[in-house]
């Protein structure tokens, strides 16, 4: 396996300022993630793991420090370039799915390709392919509100994958769905990881984190543990 770092952070700091309080969300976070890894970032709420994830997803910028994604210094990029990074290099899966309301699964998955300027026919073809990959081949024209939580999250995963991103980031991907469906989502992540995708996932559930190959523990804005998960919980075999 290629061990070139795909994500590299150097002394990341994030400080939120309001008129009265200054909150340190991240202080001096440095780590790297290699291509092909499946990493879970764990920590209690308020530990700064979400902030870290947003910076990794180029949705937010660090106050200081450096973030390199695939060799590019993300925190130095302009607004337009950041939009391109988010579009092409990052596939983001949100806890709350964040699908466009009253819009079909197909259209939701086609959206990032629209922003990339992909022609319509190719968009349709790819969207169908990825929806079939996540097991929703029979739900193409269903709108978001006609799908269950687990199905919506799988549409969101198809959307995250459709641009063939460098990394797949998932922010509490199973936080809003039932545990059976959570297992399905995790098996999907494992399958994608087996196929060579780099997956970084946030969770506060030990059980979910157990599916990853490596677990980073975050507390009070710093990394307190970074271990290889020798007892990776495999669910692929149990998949029907």
Q: Which one of residues 70, 84, 205, 220 is an interface residue with other proteins (CB under 8 A)?
A: 84
Q: To the nearest whole angstrom, how small is the minimum distance from the Cβ of residue 112 to other proteins?
A: 5
Pattern 108-147, other proteins, x by CB under 8 A = ---xx-xxxx------------------------------
Nearer to other proteins (CB atom), residue 54 or residue 126 = 54
Q: Which of 161, 94, 169 is nearest to 127 (CA)?
A: 161
Exposed / middle / buried, residue 180 (Cβ in 10 Å: 0-12, 13-18, 19+): exposed
Give the position of tokens 């999250």. 153
What are the two backbone dihedrals, phi and then psi, of residue 171, each rounded to the nearest 5 degrees?
-100, 105
Q: Which one of residues 34, 87, 166, 232 is an interface residue with other proteins (CB under 8 A)?
A: 87
Nearer to other proteins (CB atom), residue 72 or residue 115 = 115
Strands (E), the chain: 5-17, 22-34, 38-42, 64-69, 72-73, 90-93, 167-171, 198-203, 214-219, 222-228
Nearer to other proteins (CB atom), residue 126 or residue 217 = 126
Q: To the nearest whole angstrom, how small is the minimum distance from the Cβ of residue 120 to other proteins?
A: 8
Nearer to other proteins (CB atom), residue 46 or residue 225 = 46
**Contact of 2 with 166, CB cutoff 8 Å:** no
SS3 47: coil
Q: To the nearest whole angstrom, how small is the minimum distance from the Cβ of residue 152 to other proteins?
A: 13
Q: Which of 172, 190, 130 is nearest to 154 (CA)?
A: 130
Nearer to other proteins (CB atom), residue 123 or residue 139 = 123
What are the two backbone dihedrals, phi and then psi, of residue 52, each rounded to the nearest 5 degrees?
-60, -45
**Contact of 14 with 48, CB cutoff 8 Å:** yes
Nearer to other proteins (CB atom), residue 93 or residue 212 = 93
Stretch that binds other proteins, among 93-101, 180-188, 198-206, 221-229 (CB under 8 A): 93-101
Q: To the nearest whole angstrom, how small is the minimum distance from the Cβ of residue 92 to other proteins?
A: 6
Q: How many residues does the chain have?
A: 240
Which residues of this chain interact with other proteins, rule CB under 8 A? 54, 57, 59-60, 79-80, 83-84, 86-88, 92, 94, 98, 100-102, 111-112, 114-117, 159, 163
């Amino acid at each position: 396996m290629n061990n070139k770092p795909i994500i590299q952070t150097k002394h990341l700091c994030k400080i939120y300022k309001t008129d009265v309080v200054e909150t340190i969300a991240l202080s001096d976070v440095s780590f790297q993630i290699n291509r092909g890894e499946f990493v879970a970032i764990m920590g209690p709420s308020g530990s700064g793991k979400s902030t870290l994830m947003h910076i990794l997803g180029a949705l937010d910028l660090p106050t200081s420090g450096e973030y390199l994604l695939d060799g590019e210094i993300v925190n130095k990029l302009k607004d337009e370039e950041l939009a391109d990074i988010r579009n092409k290099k990052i596939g983001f899966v949100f806890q709350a799915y964040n699908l466009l309301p009253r819009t079909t699964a197909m259209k939701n998955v086609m959206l990032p390709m629209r922003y990339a300027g992909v022609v319509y026919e190719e968009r349709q073809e790819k969207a169908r392919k990825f929806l079939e990959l996540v097991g929703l081949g029979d739900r193409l024209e269903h709108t978001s509100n006609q799908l269950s939580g687990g199905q919506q999250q799988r549409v969101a995963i198809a959307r995250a994958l459709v641009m063939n991103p460098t990394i797949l980031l998932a922010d509490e991907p199973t936080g809003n769905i039932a545990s059976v469906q959570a297992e399905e989502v995790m098996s999907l992540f494992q399958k994608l990881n087996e196929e060579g995708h780099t997956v970084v996932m946030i969770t506060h559930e030990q059980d979910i984190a157990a599916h990853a190959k490596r677990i980073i523990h975050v507390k009070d804005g710093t990394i307190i543990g970074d271990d290889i998960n020798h007892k990776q919980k495999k669910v692929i075999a149990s998949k029907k």
